[in-house]
């Protein structure tokens, strides 16, 4: 019974009614578009800045980790050199108590090895210090850039929040009105309308005929077709851009 009633209700809606509802929906959605245009490129700019800030923060953390690793390596090498010095002292003491030349030479080789280890540690530590200096220069540049981008982000976010705050009530009201309007239009037409809006740069799916031309692409419409549009007995679309055409009405 409910399905039958719905079909009867849809049957009672004339083409003229459907065109008027589509035009009303277009007017509501156009106003939503206008509000969102006020925001301009701010949402995209804010998103780009957020991505850049996140990227810089990640990069800075990585550089700090690399510096910490290098500093740990330097510290380990210093400790290694101290251990080598302790070993050298021990081997030299043992040389005073050797029983033959073979033991003395063996200890001498150990001392020589430890001395080479100390020199290697010093060389590697020096190289690591140069690496740290380079990393710190990069870190300073990245930190300065992060500070600048964070300031830009804070400014843009504040601007966007202010605009959204000013327009939110109107936008929410219009979004609800758009949804309510779609409920009164058959799904087939809503789908066609939505598809046309998505494909149109200006979001216009339903346009009025102005001075004999399509209000969307501005191409001339043949006189007979104009008459069909005025009578509202069938849904006419522009043969050039595919938009739904309705007769011009004074605001």
Domain ranges of the chain: 2-38+186-247, 42-169
pLDDT of residue 250: 66
pLDDT of residue 201: 85
Q: Do 2-38+186-247 and 42-169 show the same overall fold?
A: yes
Task: Please list, residue by residue across 182-219, b when 16 or more beta carbons sit within 10 angstroms of its beta carbon and e when fewer do.
Answer: beebeeebbebbeebbeebeebbbbbbbeeeebbbeee
- The answer to whether 216 and 200 are in contact (CB under 8 A) is yes
pLDDT of residue 149: 97
DSSP string, 104-123: HHHHHHHHHHHHHHHHHHHH
10-65: pLDDT as tens digits: 557 899 999 999 999 999 999 999 988 888 889 999 999 999 999 999 999 999 99
Residues of the chain with pLDDT under 50: 1-8
Domain over 2-38+186-247 is classified CATH 1.10.287.1490: yes
Residue 177: burial class (beta carbons within 10 Å; 0-12, 13-18, 19+): middle
- Distance of alpha carbon 112 from alpha carbon 76, whole angstroms: 20
Give the three-class secondary structure for 232.
coil
pLDDT of residue 67: 96
pLDDT of residue 7: 38
Q: Which residues contact 46 (CB under 8 A, 6 or more apart)?
A: 153, 156, 157, 160
- The answer to whether 160 and 50 are in contact (CB under 8 A) is no
Task: Give pTM, 2 decimals.
Answer: 0.60
pLDDT of residue 215: 93
Domain over 42-169 is classified CATH 3.30.470.20: no
């Amino acid at each position: 019974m409910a399905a039958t009633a719905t079909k009867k209700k849809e049957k009672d809606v004339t083409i003229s009614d459907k065109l008027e509802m589509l035009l009303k929906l277009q007017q509501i959605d156009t106003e939503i578009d206008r509000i969102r245009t006020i925001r301009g490129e701010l949402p995209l700019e804010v998103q780009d800045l957020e991505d850049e800030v996140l990227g810089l923060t990640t990069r800075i953390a990585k550089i700090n980790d690399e510096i910490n690793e290098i500093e740990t390596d330097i510290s380990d090498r210093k400790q290694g050199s101290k251990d080598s010095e302790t070993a050298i002292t021990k081997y030299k003491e043992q040389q005073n108590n050797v029983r033959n030349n073979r033991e003395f030479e063996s200890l001498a080789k150990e001392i020589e090895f430890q001395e080479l280890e100390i020199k290697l540690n010093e060389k590697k530590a020096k190289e690591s210090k140069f690496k740290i200096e380079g990393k710190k220069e990069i870190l300073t540049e990245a930190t300065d850039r992060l500070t600048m981008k964070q300031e830009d982000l804070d400014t843009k976010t504040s601007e966007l929040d202010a605009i959204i705050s000013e327009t939110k009530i109107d936008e929410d009201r219009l979004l609800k009105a758009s949804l309510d309007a779609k409920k009164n239009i058959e799904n087939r037409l809503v789908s066609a309308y939505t598809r046309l809006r998505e494909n149109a740069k200006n979001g216009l799916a339903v346009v009025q005929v102005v001075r004999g031309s399509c209000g969307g692409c501005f191409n001339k419409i043949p006189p007979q077709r104009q008459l069909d549009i005025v009578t509202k007995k069938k849904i006419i679309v522009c043969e050039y851009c595919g938009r739904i055409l309705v007769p011009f009405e004074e605001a």
